[in-house]
Structure 1
Amino acid sequence: MNRTPISELTDGQQIAQSFRASDKQLRVNRQGGKYIILKLTDRTGTVSGMLWNADEIMFDSFDRGDYVHCVGRTQIHNGALQMIVTAVERMDASEVDVAEFERFDADQSQRLRTRLSELLGNLHNVHLRRLGQAFLSDDTFMQRLEIGAAALSNHHAYPGGLLKHTLDLMELCLLVGPRYPQLDTELLMFGAFLHDLGKLEEISSEGEATYTDRGQLVGHIVIGVQMLGEKIREIDSPSDPFPTELRLQLEHLVVAHHGQIEFGSPKLPVTLEALTLHHIDNLDAKIESYTNIIESDISVDGNWTNYNPSIGRKLWNKRD
């Protein structure tokens, strides 16, 4: 069955094709009528769907992560494309080309994993190098890192996104660190490696990405500190103890990387490395998320995207 990729959908287009229902919510409007909000995905992107005049029978007819056949029409709403769905029906996986929905890039993942091994294996600090090797030699951990997402939305929200985000930050550390001799570049780079590892436990990588119970109850920052402690215990020994001060510095890099208490950091950055990591992390996340907004925008307003309420502005989008 021929289908139009989400990235190629346009305003006012009649649709009757397959999607993956990565999320669904049953809501009630002010008049008491029920409707379903859908998050429809394929390999190329995501589009929201609105199904009016719904009921529990329709809502329960498919699950999150199922392939569904949707009939409807696209429209612009608040500067973004959405689909008004008039019919939705569950599909069996045998009825679709799974490759059209798989966002994991195995080749890129292998390249990133190789580069990660190089960066951690070439550290001069023997304690950081040993700690890095403890992570690299953990096959279960590495397999999860290869397919983990960095978020459910906004930035790097796809299988393998966490590994890419992590490597991009580590490469940025190698560029920024030498420019400022007062920074410990290796400590900064290892902090970049650690900072979001808790998302491997916070976000489920099986089926469609969702927050786990542990993720919602504890959060990836605290989980990340716990994961760090577990690995340090694996390599710690009376004859070669892991330095206490170094452990505290690494823990601080994890707990302070969001930069502000209101953004989820238990502590504000109080070391130069933690301050730098916060800004590098924010830079990479913002560029990725803003790029997604530009690439998914379907404005016809020349060099500008539609107004995006989530960031409070239009973005310059000059088309060559």
Structure 2
Amino acid sequence: MKRLFVENLRPGDTVEEVFLLSSKTLARKKDGNPFLRLVLSDKTGTIDAVMWDNVEPADAAVAEGMFVRAAGNVSAYKGTPQLTLTGLGPCDPGQVDAADFLPVTTGDVNAMFRRLLAMTRAMTSPDLKQLLERFWDDDDFVENRFKRAPAAKLMHHAYLGGLLEHTVAVAELALAVADRYGDRLDRDMLLAGAILHDIGKTREFVYDVVIDYSDEGRLLNHMVLGIMMVEERIAQVENFSPERANLVKHLVASHHGTREFGAVEPPKTLEALVLNHIDEVDSKVVGIGTFMDSQDPRQKWTAYHRPMERYFYMGNGKES
């Protein structure tokens, strides 16, 4: 179990710990001898490292993206900690807890999943209820994919369990809106779309060592993958109406709202229109809220938020 994290490293510390090797460059000193420049990371951040001795064996033994066991001493270089390595070698991934290297939801994933099960059981549409149950009956999918997947690489819920957290939030919003507008909305259809809209993110991302896009995620995106996954499960439900199948898939295809923002089609049902907006609400509240949390609490305004092209007001600012 990892005991020492990047955020705790201080000049003068002696280190022997497991890190993720994020970057490695073999360079040459003025005398022609090789040395290594590296970036080591865990869930708390990154630290620059350098290795001067026994360079070539270390370079041959490790590669970017591997877990490594690093030994050395922390010093200050240009005002920031730097690790000078005396030893570097591979670490068995089976002995590593991914949660030490990837951010994780602070919520209880089992409690959140139980909430989704309760929503599913309360549905009155047999076809949609059975569709969701086909996903939930797949233990490998639930435990190793759905409960672990992030909802994004950077923008919002970008941590293990983030997809489940986001899905529950959007589903809760869907029920609230459905209660407000009554028969104008198909409550179960909207709820099914809320639960399934990002299901493709279980395959769009890899999240064992780092959070990044998978090959099929880059080639197809989570909406296309989600439609494929829904089609696979619909095929397991007897007598599922083709029209209803198209409506469910349309919710997945259109939840980004416009083609400009990645939607396969714009929303063309009231349920799809609502889903687009409630998805946007949770994404923005969590994403921008996380950004604001990272800012200096003594300031009234955040730094410039490039994705939204604006500053955000935080209040009067107080000394911490």
Q: What TM-score bracket applies, with the shorter chain setting the length?
A: 0.7 to 0.9
Q: CA deviation at 1:84?
A: 7.8
1:213 aligned partner:
215
Once residues 170 and 49 of structure 1 are traced to their aligned partners in structure 2, the CA distance between those partners, rounded to angstroms, is 39
Q: CA deviation at 1:294?
A: 1.7
Q: CA deviation at 1:295?
A: 1.8
Once residues 76 and 155 of structure 2 are traced to their aligned partners in structure 1, the CA distance between those partners, rounded to angstroms, is 25
Distance 1:273 1:111, change over 3 A: same
Provide TM-score, normalisation by structure 1: 0.75
Structure 1 unaligned runs (5+)?
A: 27-34, 77-82
- 8 Å Cα contact 2:18-2:69 kept in structure 1: yes
Q: Which runs of 4+ in 1 moved over 2 A?
A: 1-6, 13-26, 35-41, 47-52, 55-63, 65-76, 83-94, 96-107, 205-210, 299-320
1:280 corresponds, among 278, 281, 289, to 278
Once residues 151 and 263 of structure 1 are traced to their aligned partners in structure 2, the CA distance between those partners, rounded to angstroms, is 15
Q: Which amino acid aligns with 2:173?
A: L
1:291 aligned partner:
289
1:242 aligned partner:
240
User: Are 1:260 and 2:271 an aligned pair?
Assistant: no
Q: Matches of residues 110-129 of structure 1 in structure 2 within 5 Å?
A: 110-129=110-129
Q: Which amino acid aligns with 2:161?
A: G
Q: Deviations over 1:98-131 (max 9, x none)?
A: 5754644697111111111110111011111111
Q: Matches of residues 166-245 of structure 1 in structure 2 within 5 Å?
A: 166-181=167-182, 182-236=184-238, 241-245=239-243
Q: Matches of residues 1-320 of structure 1 in structure 2 within 5 Å?
A: 3=4, 6=7, 20-21=19-20, 23-24=22-23, 40-42=41-43, 45=44, 47=45, 61-64=62-65, 66=67, 92=91, 100-101=100-101, 103-104=103-104, 108-143=108-143, 144-181=145-182, 182-236=184-238, 241-297=239-295, 299=296, 301-317=298-314, 318-319=317-318
Q: Which amino acid aligns with 2:163?
A: L
Tell me, what secondary structure is at the counterpart of 1:200? helix
Once residues 311 and 77 of structure 2 are traced to their aligned partners in structure 1, the CA distance between those partners, rounded to angstroms, is 21
1:32 aligned partner:
none
Give identity over the alignment, percent.
28
Once residues 170 and 60 of structure 1 are traced to their aligned partners in structure 2, the CA distance between those partners, rounded to angstroms, is 47
Larger relative contact order (Cα-Cα within 8 Å, sequence gap ≥ 6): 1
Provide TM-score, normalisation by structure 2: 0.75
When the two chains are superposed, the root-mean-square deviation of aligned CA atoms in Å is 3.9
Q: Which amino acid aligns with 2:168?
A: L
Which of 1 and 2 has greater Rg? 2
Once residues 15 and 152 of structure 1 are traced to their aligned partners in structure 2, the CA distance between those partners, rounded to angstroms, is 34
Q: CA deviation at 1:163?
A: 0.8
More displaced stretch, 100-109 vs 202-211: 100-109
Once residues 207 and 85 of structure 1 are traced to their aligned partners in structure 2, the CA distance between those partners, rounded to angstroms, is 23
Distance 1:213 1:305, change over 3 A: same
Structure 2 unaligned runs (5+)?
A: 26-35
